């Protein structure tokens, strides 16, 4: 009895250890595994990530503009020193220091050295910097949402290309089976014709049908290769194992997971439009506040050397340009207000507000269209799956009927034209089932894109 319990316990542990491995093997040959490789390879994803990184750096750059602006310069010059009375407008970063009016004599030129540093700190901007920071942060959110929307679209593209590859592979296999059937009919007919049981025309007709099927096989072989190349453009590898997916493609399971018929507001496409509207709104507010004045703390320090001595003697030597030095500093508070820009910034702000309004309208349009498409897709999926069950039954019945008619043809009970007609019905049934499978999976891909949920598709294809 104790041995029995030990055996049962060991079996349970063995089954528990084997099941995860089996499930993992199943998952390795699914569309979801292929997506994980595409996500790590495709350059378009890297481009979107670079845009996100750039927006984050832009956000940091905007924040750094709130720091004090420190400027420095150094120069050494040689020239005349004639003065002129009168006022002038100083350039930013410079300030005046009055000199002596004593008469000077000596050289007509003198060397000069000058170095200065100024600091300007905007301590109050009436909310301009805050709005700039908010707009920069919103831009980062916008690029992140655009990346999510791009990934969603890329998932749909991958799914559609993968489904097309499986469809073309199924059509190629169907054509191969059809070619094998016609080859079997051709060989049977040739033997019956050689025995005098069938006319020679039957042999020619069977051979013609066989050659035509071979040409159709060549066509689908090329179509499959082309779809495989398109898939590799996303995948980056040189081979894809889709044997398990090919079985699931032709015999799909029903999707009972996505029963929600309402588009979520967090959908990446709608979120991207929301972020875009928010960014334009904040940028418009920042643009309008740019017309407001700024309150700054100013400071400066200047060093100057000259060849003009205090006694009025001028030296033309270059080294004397570092003599007779003076040091000056300046501190103060200033208000800067560009009055002319008020009208311009007003129009620029209104322009951005209109862009935000347009993004909101696009959001409403997309939401309504996506809602209608989702409801239509889910309704169509329901009936498409019902069609698949019927076409699957029709294929099985057609195959059984073809086997019976082939046996009757071998016995001489029916003509070749009747057998070929039954074979055509079987081929049509198989074609309809393959096309219905493709349409079903494409509808699931559309539903997954609309619900932003590819879990069922990635795990079951």
Q: What is the pLDDT of residues 168-194, one digit of tens each?
A: 999 999 999 999 999 998 888 888 877
pLDDT over threshold 50, residue 19: no
114-168 per-position pLDDT tens digit: 888 888 777 776 767 788 888 888 888 889 999 999 999 999 999 999 999 999 9
**Confidence at residue 433, expressed as pLDDT on a 0 to 100 scale:** 95
pLDDT band at 79 (very low <50, low <70, confident <90, very high): low
Helices (H) and strands (E) in the chain, counts: 10, 6
Give the Cα separation of 439 and 388 in Å (integer): 10
300-341 per-position pLDDT tens digit: 888 888 887 777 788 878 887 888 888 888 788 877 777 777
pLDDT band at 8 (very low <50, low <70, confident <90, very high): very low
Are 47 and 147 spatial neighbours (Cβ–Cβ below 8 Å)?
Answer: no
pLDDT over threshold 60, residue 93: no
Choice among 176-180, 203-207, 386-390, 401-405 with the minimum mean pLDDT: 203-207
- Residues across the chain: 461
Tokens representing 270 are 């709608």
High-pLDDT (> 90) share of the chain, %: 28
pLDDT band at 391 (very low <50, low <70, confident <90, very high): very high
**Confidence at residue 76, expressed as pLDDT on a 0 to 100 scale:** 67
Q: Which pTM value belongs to this model?
A: 0.78
Are 189 and 206 spatial neighbours (Cβ–Cβ below 8 Å)?
Answer: yes
**Confidence at residue 106, expressed as pLDDT on a 0 to 100 scale:** 75
Give the Cα separation of 302 and 97 in Å (integer): 10
Mean local confidence (pLDDT), 102-114: 73
pLDDT band at 10 (very low <50, low <70, confident <90, very high): very low
Which alpha helices (H) appear in 238-301, and where do they start and end?
243-250, 268-289
Are 159 and 31 spatial neighbours (Cβ–Cβ below 8 Å)?
Answer: yes
**Confidence at residue 308, expressed as pLDDT on a 0 to 100 scale:** 79
For the CA atoms of 368, 372, 374, 378, the dihedral, rounded to the nearest 10 degrees, stands at: 160
């Amino acid at each position: 009895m104790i041995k029995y319990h030990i055996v049962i316990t060991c079996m349970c542990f063995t089954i528990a250890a084997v099941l995860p491995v089996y499930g993992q093997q199943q998952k390795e040959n699914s569309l979801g595994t292929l997506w994980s490789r595409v996500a790590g390879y495709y350059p378009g994803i890297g481009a979107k990530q670079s845009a996100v990184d750039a927006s984050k750096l832009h956000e940091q750059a905007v924040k750094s503009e709130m720091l004090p602006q420190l400027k420095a310069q150094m120069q050494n010059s040689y020239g005349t020193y004639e003065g002129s009375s009168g006022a002038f407008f100083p350039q930013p970063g410079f300030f005046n220091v009055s000199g002596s009016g004593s008469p000077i004599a000596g050289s007509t030129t003198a060397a000069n050295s000058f170095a200065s540093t100024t600091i300007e700190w905007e301590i109050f901007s009436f909310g301009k910097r805050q709005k700039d920071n908010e707009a920069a942060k919103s831009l980062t959110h916008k690029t992140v949402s655009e990346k999510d929307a791009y990934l969603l679209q890329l998932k749909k593209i991958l799914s559609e290309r993968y489904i097309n590859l499986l469809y073309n592979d199924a059509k190629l296999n169907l054509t191969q089976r059809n070619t094998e059937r016609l080859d079997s009919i051709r060989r049977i007919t040739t033997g019956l014709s050689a025995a005098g049981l069938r006319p020679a025309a039957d042999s020619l007709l069977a051979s013609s049908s066989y050659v035509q099927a071979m040409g159709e096989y060549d066509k689908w072989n090329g179509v499959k290769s082309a779809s495989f190349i398109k898939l590799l453009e996303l995948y980056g590898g040189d081979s894809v194992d889709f044997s398990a997916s090919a079985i699931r493609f032709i015999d799909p399971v029903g999707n009972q997971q996505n029963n929600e018929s309402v588009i979520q507001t967090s959908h990446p496409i709608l979120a991207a439009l929301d972020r875009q509207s928010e960014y334009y709104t904040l940028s418009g507010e920042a643009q309008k506040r740019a017309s407001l004045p700024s309150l700054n703390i100013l400071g400066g320090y200047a060093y100057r050397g000259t060849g003009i001595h205090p006694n009025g003697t001028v030296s033309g030597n270059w080294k004397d340009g570092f003599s007779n030095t003076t040091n000056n500093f300046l501190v103060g508070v200033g208000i800067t207000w560009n009055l002319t820009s008020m009208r311009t910034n007003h129009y620029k702000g209104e322009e951005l507000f209109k862009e935000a309004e347009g993004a909101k309208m696009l959001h409403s349009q997309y939401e309504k269209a996506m809602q209608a498409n989702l409801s239509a897709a889910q309704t169509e999926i329901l009936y498409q799956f019902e069609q698949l069950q019927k076409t699957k039954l029709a294929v099985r019945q057609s195959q059984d009927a073809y086997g019976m008619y082939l046996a009757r043809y071998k016995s001489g009970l029916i003509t070749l034209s009747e057998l070929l007609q039954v074979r055509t019905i079987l081929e049509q049934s198989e074609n309809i089932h393959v096309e219905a499978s493709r349409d079903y999976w494409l509808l699931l891909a559309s539903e997954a894109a609309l619900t932003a949920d590819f879990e069922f598709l990635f795990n079951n294809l």
